[in-house]
Amino acid sequence: MPTTSTMKVLSFVEVGEYVKSSDSPNLKTVSNSFSNNIYTRTPLATLLKNCVVDVDVFFNASRISSGNYVTASFIVAGGNGASFPWEVFYPSPKKSSLVSSLEQNEDVNFPSRKRICVPASFVAASESFEQKNLPAIEVLPDECLFEVFRRLPSGQERSACACVSKRWLTVLSSIPRDETFASKPNLPSKAEEGSIQNKIGEIAQSNGVEAEAEARDIEGVGYLTRWLDGNKATDIRLAAIAVGTASHGGLEKLSIQGNNPYRGVTDAGLKAIARGCPSLRDLSLWNVSSIGDEGLSEIAHGCHLLEKLDLCQCPGISDKSLLDIAKNCPNLTSLTIESCSNIGNDSLQAVGRCCPNLKVVAVKNCPLVGDHGIAGLVSSAGHLLTKVKLQALNISEISLAVIGQYGIAVTDLALSDLQSVNEGGFWVMGNGQGLQKLKSLTISACSGVGDLVLEALCKGCPNLKLFCLKKCAFISDYGLVAFANASVSLKNLQLEECHRITQAGFFGILLNCGKKLKALSLVNCSGVKDLICACSLVASCNSLQSLAIRDCPGVGNVSIAIIGRLCPELTHLELNGLLDITDEGLIPLVQSCVASLVEVNLSGCVNVSDKSVSAIAKLHGGTLESLIIDGCRHVTDASLVEISDSCWLLNELDVSKCGITDSGLEALASAAHLSLQTLLLSGCPLVSDKSFPFLLELGQNLMGLNIKHCSGMSSNTVNVLVEQLWSFYNEDVIRNFGSRSPILPVILL
């Protein structure tokens, strides 16, 4: 039985469908008696299929030559029982221009409530026009929804509409902010403005990030941050961000890392952000192969406030879109490009010319970037750039010469894996006299760096404070000592995998930087070995406060004892993975430190025992804040007893893989003055269920607890402990468990 519904046919009929009566030669055009604006494209045949429709319509008659339309027949039955044959005419695509050539229109009023019956033959002929029943508003095309949605008064209404369907969300996200009727808010009155300023003042007096965020929200400045990782990175989610953040202060930072393998982020998602988030200032795209120039160009045209752009492993992005960024984002201050195979010299040159606020540039592993790009960038923006990082690029000594000549504002320079740059390139850079403001220099895996380069850098960089050399195989003791002796401002020296450096060079640095060097780091330098030192120990390095020696297998008790006599002012001591160090060498070093130690890290020193730890606690317990003895298997409860008695300021203790038991934890828990915030017990098999009350007592102040691989504790005890510890924190902290905030408690099982 056909269904019956009452509707206005004119609301559903496409303009251009013509109805012809067999009794009349005139061509009838269905039109709306209330409005001539017909938006839907639903064919009339589809709406009449298998239904009886009561209609109230007007028809416009026009004379149109035949032969230009596709026809189908149906019957109109009048209310008095009379019936009239009609034909539906669909304009031929090739003759669509005839629609606008109507010569004459005349209104014909037919009786109301006509019943239209569609025969089965016509139903079969119109199968291709079938579409499911939808709410009336759903038949509107996207163009109509666009006009409706852009008239919504506020962001709250827009967000509510976005929740209806993906289609509505997509339409809403396609509306640029400057095309909405609410994009130009009314200016507040003086009274309202004063109220707003008072509210901002009240917020400014409170503490924390939330207060700052709320104040910026009132001012209409974007402050929200969104991070999409892996499967969460989709176009739909970006569209939701574009619509939803508008009413909550605006989006300031967007990071997309990885991609959804089935429906990942594309240019359409970035377009939504560009239209809806003009306040965007920080954009990071990491490992997103489905984004190309079209999306990033849209960001350039829609987000003129962009200040930071980070592109990593984006092969679809080329010079074209980066040129648009350079031309349309004058506030750009930081640009990072890594492993982008289609970005080359032209875009870098444009960034140097067009971005007057550029401060930071990092380019890594981009095969199309060469001397023209780097030299053009630095020569144009060298007076602006403060931080430059170049890694794994096919550049020569030309680029380094330009840096040495034009990098007059550069304070931080990092050069890594530049295999095509010879020693002459580094020498020219050092003698260019343009790096007078350079304070931090890192050179890693560059085969062209030798002793002559160090001499040139010392002369050309008089304000250098931090110097880091990594994997520089041609640096010798002679060049390093000469550099240390001539450098007038050096505060921090870091050496890593420089295997030609020996014990003589190491102590030569300490003896020649006695009045200025504050931190020295020696990592994986196999050339430094314990030898009988014949150098004079009359001089000392009284300025050195921090010493780190990691994974240097040749360093033993002899070297450590000499360090103790040369460096009496140490406050931070890090000795990691030194298997030959014992109490015999470490205790004299600890006793020689006139200035009390604040941080001590002995991780991996397997031959250090309770004697050394007890000496550290007794001599420096009044200042010690961090003690890491991970892997010192000879450390037992005796050390924890001494720590509980002597260390008043200790807030971090790592005794992982040590020989401690429940008795040691009992001693820590009984120390009323001790207020540990981080306790690491991983891999302590002698800790059992008996330690439950002691861990519970310590847990009242703990922000981090690691009890992984404590095989002596049962799973039931661990579960109860976790439940009790979490009860110390409010529900808000529990909801955020696992975030990257450093203030959140962490329990590792």
Per-residue pLDDT tens digits for 634-652: 999 999 999 999 999 999 9
Q: What is the pLDDT at residue 222?
A: 64
Q: Are 304 and 329 in contact (CB under 8 A)?
A: yes
Per-residue tokens: 221 = 């400045």
Contacts of 126-131 with C-beta under 8 Å, sequence gap 24+, read 126/43, 126/45, 126/46, 126/49, 126/72, 129/43, 129/45, 129/46, 129/49, 130/46, 130/49, 131/42, 131/46
Lowest-pLDDT range of 238-247, 406-415, 492-501: 238-247
**Which position has the token pair 């003698």?**
431
Separation of alpha carbons 747 and 135, rounded Å: 52
Per-residue tokens: 197 = 């300023």
pLDDT winner (highest mean) among 486-490, 512-516, 525-529: 525-529
Share of the chain above pLDDT 90, in %: 53
Separation of alpha carbons 108 and 151, rounded Å: 37
Q: Are 249 and 217 in contact (CB under 8 A)?
A: yes
175 or 91, greater pLDDT? 175
What are the tens digits of pLDDT across the range 354-386? 999 999 999 999 999 999 999 999 999 999 999
Does pLDDT of 660 surpass 90? yes
Separation of alpha carbons 450 and 482, rounded Å: 12
Beta strands in 669-723 (DSSP E): 678-680, 704-706
Spacing of C-alpha 627 from chain mean position: 33
237 or 21, greater pLDDT? 237
What are the tens digits of pLDDT across the range 178-229? 777 654 444 444 454 455 345 434 433 443 333 333 333 333 456 789 999 8
Per-residue tokens: 202 = 């009240």
**Which position has the token pair 């300490």?**
510
SS (H, E, C) 622-644: CCCCEEECCCCCECCHHHHHHHH
Q: What is the pLDDT at residue 231?
A: 79
Cα dist. 246→12, 211, 368 in Å?
35, 19, 38
Residues 6+ apart with CB under 8 A from 356: 330, 384
Share of the chain above pLDDT 70, in %: 72
Separation of alpha carbons 400 and 418, rounded Å: 10
Longest alpha-carbon distance in the chain: 125
Spacing of C-alpha 382 from chain mean position: 27
Separation of alpha carbons 415 and 218, rounded Å: 43
**Which position has the token pair 């005139």?**
26
Instruction: Provide the 8-state DSSP code for 101.
Output: G
Cα dist. 147→141, 174, 181, 186, 370 in Å?
10, 11, 10, 21, 49
Separation of alpha carbons 69 and 85, rounded Å: 17
- Break the chain down into helix, strand, coil percent, rounded to 5: 35, 20, 45
Q: What is the pLDDT at residue 138?
A: 78
For 211, left (φ over 0), alpha (ψ -120 to 50), or beta?
alpha
Mean pLDDT, to the nearest integer, of 475-503? Answer: 92
Q: What is the pLDDT at residue 537?
A: 57
Q: Are 301 and 270 in contact (CB under 8 A)?
A: no
Cα dist. 479→397, 460, 484, 487 in Å?
21, 16, 9, 12
Residues 6+ apart with CB under 8 A from 485: 512, 513
499 or 103, greater pLDDT? 499
Question: Cα angle at 467 between 464 and 469, to 5 degrees?
Answer: 150
- 3-class SS at 705? strand
Task: Choose among 66, 67, 71, 82: nearest CA to 121.
Answer: 71
Local confidence band at 166 (pLDDT 50, 70, 90 cut-offs): confident
**Which position has the token pair 């200040």?**
307
What are the tens digits of pLDDT across the range 55-109? 333 333 333 333 333 333 333 334 444 444 444 443 433 333 333 333 333 343 4
Spacing of C-alpha 148 from chain mean position: 35
Local confidence band at 443 (pLDDT 50, 70, 90 cut-offs): very high
Local confidence band at 437 (pLDDT 50, 70, 90 cut-offs): very high
Q: What is the pLDDT at residue 218?
A: 35
Task: Choose among 354, 313, 348, 311: nearest CA to 331.
Answer: 354
Residues 6+ apart with CB under 8 A from 153: 181, 182
Task: Choose among 624, 663, 662: nearest CA to 643.
Answer: 624
Mean pLDDT over the full length of the chain: 78
What are the tens digits of pLDDT across the range 529-552? 988 655 555 567 889 999 999 999
pTM over 0.75: no
Local confidence band at 129 (pLDDT 50, 70, 90 cut-offs): very low
Cα dist. 731→193, 210, 734, 739 in Å?
37, 17, 5, 14
- 3-class SS at 12? coil
- 3-class SS at 441? strand
Bridge partners of 255, per DSSP, are 227, 284
Q: How many CB atoms lie within 10 A of CB 187?
A: 7
